[in-house]
Amino acid sequence: MAGIRSDHHLGTLTALTAEQLAVRAGRGGADAHACFEQVVIRYEERLFNFLLRRCGKREEAEELAQETFVRAWERIASYDPTWRFSTWLFTIGLRQAVSRHRKARREVPVETPERAAPPARDTGDDHDLGARLWALAAERLTQDQHTALWLRYAEDMAVDDIAKVMGKSGVGVRVCLFRARQALAGMIETPARREVVKDATPPRRTSKSGAMMSGGAA
C-alpha cells in the first residue's frame, strides 16, 4: 500500500506546473523536497545548456547549475508565482555566472577581427544551418546578445521575461536581439537564408518610458 501511495503522490506532483511546485516547496511541509526535486528534473538540462552557452565550459556550467539550484532552494520561500519559474531560475543562474566571472576577473574578448568566423554555408539542411548559426553566435556575438538570442529562441521566452533575467529594459532587449540578428544575417552566404535571422524592422522607443515597439520575431 505504501508503494501505491508513493506512486500516486509522484503522479500528482508530475501533473503540477513548475510554478505550482515551487509554491508548494516554498510552503515547506512533508513534500517540499519532492516538489523541488521535480523542478530540478524538469530544468536541469535546460539550465545547464543555458549556462554552457554563457561560460563555454561544461565543467563550469555543471558547477554553476548546481550552485543555481542550491540558491533557488535557499530562496524558494520567496518565490513570486507571478513570475514564470523558468524566468526566476534563469535570473539566479545568470547572476551566478556573472558573479563567478567577476571573481575570476576573466575578460574574454568576443569580437576580435582576427578571429572572424567563416560564413555559414547553405547546405539545404535547416538543422545543420541552425547548429552553425548557434556556433557563430557563440564565437561572434557579445555575451548579452548571445544570451538574449538563446533565451528568445532556444527557451522561447517573451521579451519581458528576458528583460527580467538580464536586468534590462524591454527596449534594451529588443535592441540586443535586433543587433544579434543583424550580425548573424551578415554571416550567412545565401540572401534567402539571411531573411531567416534578419529583422527588417528596427526597435524604436515610444513616448512612454519603458514602452517598446518592434516588428519581426521578437
Of 106, 134, 156, which residue constitutes the final position of a domain?
Answer: 106
Average pLDDT over residues 115-134: 52
Q: How confident is the model at residue 133 (pLDDT cuts 50, 70, 90)?
A: confident
217 shares a domain with 119: yes
Q: How confident is the model at residue 205 (pLDDT cuts 50, 70, 90)?
A: very low
Please report, rounded to a whole number, the percentage of residues in the chain having pLDDT higher than 70. Answer: 70
CATH code of 51's domain: 1.10.1740.10
Q: Collapsing DSSP states into helix, strand and coil, what is residue 107?
A: coil
- In the structure grid, which three cell numbers stand for residue 180, read together? 544579434
Q: What is the pLDDT of residue 102?
A: 82
Of 84, 106, 128, which residue constitutes the final position of a domain?
Answer: 106
CATH code of 179's domain: 1.10.10.10
97 shares a domain with 18: yes
26 shares a domain with 86: yes
User: Residue 26: what residue type?
Assistant: G
> Based on the structure, what is the number of domains in the chain?
2
DSSP string, 132-193: HHHHHHHHHS-HHHHHHHIIIIIS---HHHHHHHHT--HHHHHHHHHHHHHHHHTTBSSHHH
Angle at which helices 32-55 and 2-14 cross, to 10°: 40
100 shares a domain with 119: no
* Domain region containing 68: 1-106
Residue 171 has pLDDT above 70, yes or no: yes
Q: How confident is the model at residue 87 (pLDDT cuts 50, 70, 90)?
A: very high
82 shares a domain with 172: no
Q: What is the pLDDT of residue 136?
A: 84
100 shares a domain with 6: yes
CA–CA dist 111, 177 (Å, integer): 17
Of 82, 106, 130, which residue constitutes the final position of a domain?
Answer: 106
85 shares a domain with 52: yes
End-to-end CA distance of the chain: 51
